[in-house]
Amino acid sequence: MPEVFTLPALANFFAAGGSPVAVADAALARIAAWDDPALFLARVPPSTVRARAATLAAEGPQGRALFSVPFVLKDNIDAAGVPTTAACPDYAYTPAEDAPVVARLLAAGAVLLGKVNLDQFATGLNGTRSPHGAPRNPVLPDCVPGGSSSGSATAVAAGIAAFSLGTDTAGSGRVPAMLNNIVGLKPSLGLVPTQGVVPACRSLDVVSVFALTVADAGAVLEVMAGPASADRYSRAAPVGWRAVPAPQPAWQLAAPLPEQLVFDSPDDAALYDAALARAEALGGTVTRVDIAPFLAIARRLYDGAWVAERTAALRDLLTTKPEAIHPVTRGILEAGLDKRTIDAWDDFHAAAEARRLARALFARTDILLLPTAPGAPTLADLAAEPVAANSRLGTYTNFVNICDLSALAVPSGFRANGRPAGVTLVGPAFAEARLAGLGAALHAVAGVTLGATGAATPPPPVPPPLAPGELPLLAIG
Amino acid sequence: MPEVFTLPALANFFAAGGSPVAVADAALARIAAWDDPALFLARVPPSTVRARAATLAAEGPQGRALFSVPFVLKDNIDAAGVPTTAACPDYAYTPAEDAPVVARLLAAGAVLLGKVNLDQFATGLNGTRSPHGAPRNPVLPDCVPGGSSSGSATAVAAGIAAFSLGTDTAGSGRVPAMLNNIVGLKPSLGLVPTQGVVPACRSLDVVSVFALTVADAGAVLEVMAGPASADRYSRAAPVGWRAVPAPQPAWQLAAPLPEQLVFDSPDDAALYDAALARAEALGGTVTRVDIAPFLAIARRLYDGAWVAERTAALRDLLTTKPEAIHPVTRGILEAGLDKRTIDAWDDFHAAAEARRLARALFARTDILLLPTAPGAPTLADLAAEPVAANSRLGTYTNFVNICDLSALAVPSGFRANGRPAGVTLVGPAFAEARLAGLGAALHAVAGVTLGATGAATPPPPVPPPLAPGELPLLAIG
């Protein structure tokens, strides 16, 4: 039995004759041992998990990419027959069908363990905005787990699930990765169907992946990607798109001007500088760039048109039963009720300008390397300032979806007091393979173990051979 | 001297030793002979036109695609040193620079004659919403000229300009083409820079081309196309994009369900049926499709979020000097003041769904063949019902920009009472070459002459040879 549920470890175990039922039993035992009442909002019954594993064992792998791999779902993503609540009991409904992305994972052999906690309606970056409490952070219990995909991140860091799905509108797939010392992959807009996902900002939402390694996150994303015919926000990826690490001999990297960087502590600043230095040691050339336009568009996310998009998605509940909504979340949503459309257009035209500037940046830059967040706050920090401390967590993540970019969060080390830190690699849409290439290399040299498992970070995978005619770099229009 | 200013006729004239100055003089004489005080809002002084032609004569063609070709600009597009008014004298400003699209035309050798009338702020489809009056329709003076690109269309139909630029947000580049018996090409969103263009709905606006023939419109568009670095709404076209007719052996065509078609008269219906029959005779297979979702999204254009986009662009003038705005236009803009953003999101999500349905349609269809408008109204019709008669003109055009489609309007014949009719070919984004292929063929067999010139419609051009590896059909993602 692999001590750590990475995809290669599980595949090796099965190749050597290991049983899917044994892995399922181990996952169920880890859930019991972890014993966090704030983690699962709905369990798949253990008997069902074992039965699924037994069926898979009888069938054999059949080439399936996620054969018998245990995973969990953020509870704003539909799984047939299991209630979807978005951490709001009054919102609950039981879908008859899996979300297309879930159906793809199951078809690839993955084993669902359950639905996990989140900041209610995926509104928040800290993990405490849930009536069920905050999932316990496996790395440092005083720290928030991060959100909104709180349970998705802690379940992977605790070694229960090999991977999990989150969602990401403003950083919900990246900030919890940092806070749990794991990998968070925010795919390009439209790459993964959002059909069957409770909307936050429907035009900006993506389904994201948490995993212990960059290679695992990419492998899961390759299973998830591709348009769903009924999904209005699906987009076709360019021909040749991949999510697993792409070979690249040298990197043109960008970093913010030093005066634009904010950190919670000198330790956090030093950890970011160290990550930049490691990127240079890996063959990167770092150019400082002005990220003020991106910071500016980020401020519009919660002040402008997009908060009204959240409100629009929940207007019925907000009007008929406001007390059903977490008070912090309700305050945010109510601010969207009275926004005027003529002002929204200022936001949209500003967003178009920010996207233009991002295109210009990535015409000369492979990757923008940012801190994932200024630092890791504690539960007490969030209790003291529920909105301000949350906003600070989104400093480096909020602009990414509005600017139509892809992003990958990887661990970068720990402060002296044990709090985790991370960097996020940002690229243009559909540059997942490029991000994975540097991300895996950076992760391997960050001097960290995987999540809270204590297992060593593997060396970066050898990139797959190029297909005939394939270029070593994914060319982006 | 060519009787009719088509690009091949002018090129032949110059190749045979004809003088650019002679063409400029002829164009100036035609302006004088046409004698419409409502056509030009600003003339380029005749001495300047002649001096420009003399310079071009001295330089020779130098391979320039629009060498010494006379054109006019809708007065919502910047030309350096000439006031831009959008048909609102109080809005006037004098730009220091040409709009990028104008700079490209001038660099290709075109000769600007002046800025022409429009429905004020490009809001309208009929051509009467201008404080300067309506340009005279050269085909039938009782008919409206169409709008909002009224002068752009009449100047071409009258034989003054070889081509003109209009703009198109909801049909302003297509409806006037029908009403003037000429060709109107609405390019894909973002293909032509809109920098230096007075915004109507900035997110939906395109610069359009009017010409006497499909081949000429495509040739002009090829000069205009391509991102401008400072233009936030520019998009790169796919590799291999063309605007001139593409060869195609057979066409999968779609037409609305018969009960979804509205016409002003049985004559208009018969002219549309005849155009469909001609398309079938040219090798097309026509399938009837339900266009209800597209008609539904069109209704949101003036009832929902996008009217507020128009209002947002003019909020200062509307607030400080409302009397400066045409009363009909002012009424439309005022409706945008109080729209709420939470309702706008319903429109945007509906638009995303309409785009999804359009993608599904064009996955199995090459071209959607529609009437350009239900019929050609008279000036009296518009005076009687300034809003309702205008809205009716947009029946088949309003949805196209919201759905991210390309379109080409070509003449299809005349009613017994002399009123012009037309069809519009609609395709996915960047399918201009596909539309031009069928459009030129349909135009050639429509039994019409060019504009009001009386000249015969040329046979469709022989498609250019394919580049190595180029496919006969533009493949759309």
Mean pLDDT of B179-208: 98
A115 included as an active-site residue: no
> Which residue is closest to B356 within chain A, CA to CA?
A232
Q: How much is the pLDDT for A108?
A: 98
Mean pLDDT of B376-386: 97
Which member of A238, A342, A360 has the closest CB to residue B315?
Answer: A342
Q: How much is the pLDDT for B475?
A: 36
User: What is the per-residue pLDDT across A50-83, written as a single tens digit (0 to 9) for each?
Assistant: 999 999 999 999 999 999 999 999 999 999 999 9
Mean pLDDT of chain A: 95
User: What is the per-residue pLDDT across B338-369, written as a single tens digit (0 to 9) for each?
Assistant: 999 999 999 999 999 999 999 999 999 999 99
User: What is the per-residue pLDDT across A368-405, written as a single tens digit (0 to 9) for each?
Assistant: 999 999 999 999 999 999 999 999 999 999 999 999 99
Contact across the interface for A234 and B352, Cβ inside 8 Å = no
CA angle A337, A340, A345 (to 5 degrees): 125
Q: Which of B314, B341, B357 to mutate: most A Cβ within 10 Å?
A: B341
Q: How much is the pLDDT for A474?
A: 42
Per-residue confidence band for A247, with pLDDT thresholds at 50, 70 and 90: confident
Q: How much is the pLDDT for B337?
A: 95
Per the CB < 8 A criterion, the answer to whether A56 and A70 are in contact is no
Per the CB < 8 A criterion, the answer to whether B208 and B165 are in contact is yes
Q: How much is the pLDDT for B477?
A: 30
Q: CA of A247, closest CA in chain B: separation in Å? A: 25
Instruction: Give the residue from A105, A99, A16 showing the smallest Cα distance to A65.
Output: A105
Mean pLDDT of A305-310: 96
Per-residue confidence band for A422, with pLDDT thresholds at 50, 70 and 90: very high
Check whether A471 has a pLDDT greater than 70: no
The set of residues, in sequence order, having a beta carbon less than 8 Å from that of A16 and lying 6+ positions away, is none
Q: How much is the pLDDT for B464?
A: 61
Instruction: Give the residue from B143, B135, B243 showing the smallest Cα distance to B183.
Output: B243
Per the CB < 8 A criterion, the answer to whether B120 and B129 are in contact is yes
Query: H or E stretch including A78?
Result: none
Contacts of A338 in chain B (CB under 8 A): 340
Side chain identity, residue B205: D
Which of A68, A130, A148, A149 is catalytic? The answer is: A148
| Reported pTM | 0.94
A203 included as an active-site residue: no
Mean pLDDT of A129-147: 98
Mean pLDDT of B84-112: 98
Q: CA of A335, closest CA in chain B: separation in Å? A: 11
Q: How much is the pLDDT for B476?
A: 38
Q: What contacts 24+ positions apart, CB below 8 Å, involve A360-364?
A: A360/B229, A361/A254, A361/A289, A362/A427, A362/A428, A362/A431, A362/A476, A364/A252
Which of A150, A152, A164, A172 is catalytic? The answer is: A172
Per-residue confidence band for B248, with pLDDT thresholds at 50, 70 and 90: confident
CA angle B262, B173, B188 (to 5 degrees): 100
Contacts of A343 in chain B (CB under 8 A): 312, 341
Would you state the structure tokens that stand for residue A224, as one six-digit string?
Answer: 């998830």
Would you state the structure tokens that stand for residue A237, as one six-digit string?
Answer: 């990826």
Which of B130, B148, B208, B406 is catalytic? The answer is: B148
Query: Which 397-416 residues of chain A touch chain B by CB within 8 A?
Result: none
Would you state the structure tokens that stand for residue B253, as one six-digit string?
Answer: 């065509």
- Is some CB atom of chain A closer than 8 A to the CB atom of B315? yes
Contact across the interface for B340 and A342, Cβ inside 8 Å = no
Check whether A475 has a pLDDT greater than 50: no
User: What is the per-residue pLDDT across B398-434, written as a single tens digit (0 to 9) for each?
Assistant: 999 999 999 999 999 999 999 999 999 999 999 999 9
- Is some CB atom of chain B closer than 8 A to the CB atom of A309? yes
Q: CA of B307, closest CA in chain A: separation in Å? A: 9
B149 included as an active-site residue: no
Q: Exposed, middle or buried, B463 (CB in 10 Å: 0-12/13-18/19+)?
A: middle
Per-residue confidence band for B469, with pLDDT thresholds at 50, 70 and 90: low
Q: Which of A232, A234, A341, A359 to mutate: most B Cβ within 10 Å?
A: A341
Q: CA of B55, closest CA in chain A: separation in Å? A: 37
